[in-house]
C-alpha cells in the first residue's frame, strides 16, 4: 500500500523530469575529457587515480585508455580491464548535466539527490553492447544515482532533437531518441523513442506494481528518466 501511494504522488510530478539523464559526450568531443582527473576501478580490484592522457573512440565507445599516475607512470587499459571510469567534469560540463527535476522531486519524496545534483564526474562503465557479438565496451552512464536496477547508457548511434551547443556540451534541447538499457549485467537493450510506449510493459515487467500504476496512462518518451527513477526507488 505504501509503495502504491508513493508511486501515485511521484506520477503526479513525473512530467517535470523531461530529459532527466545527464548529457552525453559526443565522439567528436572526446578531447574535452583529456588531462582531466580520473579514477579507474579495475576488474582486478585495484583503483587507479591520475589524469586521462589519451583515449580513442571506436564506434562511439571509449577504448585504449591511458592514465598518467601522480608518480609519472603511464598505465594503458582496455575496456575489459575496467569496471568503472570516472572523469572529472568542468563547470560548463556540470551545468549541462544537471536535471531540472531533481529539486522538485527531492521536495516531493525526501529522496537525497545529492549524488545526482552534484555531478562532478562523467561516469563510464563496461557493459556488453546490444549487437549480436555483445563485445564489452566502455559506455557512458547517464543515470548515476538511480542506476541500481537499470543502468542507462548513451547510445553512440542515437539521433538527437535540435538544441543549443556551447563549448561541446548540449545545454538545451538535444534529447536523445534512443538509449541503451542494461539490467542485471545482461547485454544492453536499445530503447527507442518510436517504440517506447509499445515496449513499456516489457521493459518494466519485473515490477508489476509499476506497470499497473501506469496502466491506461499516456506513456511519454520525455518521461523516460522519471520511469527509470521510479523503477529504481520503488521496485524490489
129, HSE (Cβ side, Cα atoms, 13 Å): 18
Closest to 42 (Cα-Cα) out of 78, 83, 80, 77: 83
Q: In this structure, what C-alpha cell is assigned to residue 52?
A: 586521462
Q: How far apart are the C-alpha atoms of 42 and 49, rounded to whole Å? A: 11
> Rounded mean pLDDT of 180-208?
93
> Which band of pLDDT confidence, cut at 50, 70 and 90, is reported for residue 232?
confident
Q: Check pLDDT > 50 for residue 135.
A: yes
pLDDT value at position 175? 64
When computed from its CA atoms, the radius of gyration of the chain, rounded to whole angstroms, is 18
Q: In this structure, what C-alpha cell is assigned to residue 7?
A: 508511486
Lowest mean pLDDT among 14-28, 63-77, 84-98: 14-28
177/101: higher pLDDT: 177
Kindly report whether the global pTM for this prediction surpasses the value 0.85: no
Pair 40, 65: CB distance under 8 Å: yes
pLDDT value at position 117? 45
The percent of residues in the chain predicted with pLDDT above 70, rounded, is 72
> Rounded mean pLDDT of 46-64?
91
Q: Check pLDDT > 70 for residue 23.
A: yes
Lowest mean pLDDT among 10-14, 93-97, 214-218: 10-14
Q: In the chain, where are the structural domains located? A: 2-32+82-234
Amino acid at each position: 500500500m505504501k509503495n502504491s501511494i508513493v508511486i501515485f504522488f511521484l506520477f503526479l510530478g513525473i512530467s517535470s523530469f523531461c530529459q532527466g539523464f545527464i548529457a552525453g559526450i559526443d565522439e567528436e568531443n572526446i578531447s574535452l575529457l583529456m588531462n582531466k582527473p580520473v579514477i579507474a576501478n579495475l576488474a582486478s580490484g585495484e583503483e587507479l587515480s591520475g589524469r586521462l592522457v589519451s583515449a580513442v573512440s571506436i564506434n562511439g565507445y571509449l577504448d585504449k585508455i591511458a592514465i598518467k599516475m601522480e608518480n609519472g607512470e603511464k598505465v594503458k587499459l582496455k575496456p575489459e580491464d575496467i569496471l568503472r571510469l570516472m572523469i572529472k567534469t568542468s563547470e560548463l560540463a556540470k551545468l549541462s548535466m544537471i536535471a531540472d527535476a531533481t529539486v522538485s522531486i527531492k521536495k516531493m519524496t525526501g529522496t537525497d539527490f545529492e549524488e545526482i545534483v552534484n555531478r562532478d564526474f562523467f561516469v563510464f562503465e563496461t557493459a556488453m553492447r546490444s549487437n549480436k557479438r555483445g563485445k564489452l565496451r566502455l559506455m557512458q552512464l547517464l543515470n548515476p544515482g538511480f542506476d541500481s536496477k537499470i543502468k542507462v547508457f548513451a547510445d553512440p548511434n542515437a539521433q538527437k532533437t535540435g538544441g543549443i551547443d556551447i563549448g561541446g556540451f548540449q545545454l538545451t534541447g538535444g534529447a536523445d531518441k534512443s538509449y541503451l538499457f542494461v539490467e542485471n549485467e545482461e547485454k544492453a537493450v536499445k530503447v527507442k523513442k518510436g517504440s517506447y510506449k509499445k515496449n513499456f510493459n516489457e521493459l518494466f515487467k519485473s515490477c508489476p506494481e509499476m506497470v499497473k500504476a501506469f496502466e491506461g496512462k499516456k506513456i511519454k518518451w520525455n518521461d523516460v528518466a522519471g520511469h527509470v527513477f521510479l523503477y529504481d526507488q520503488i521496485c524490489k
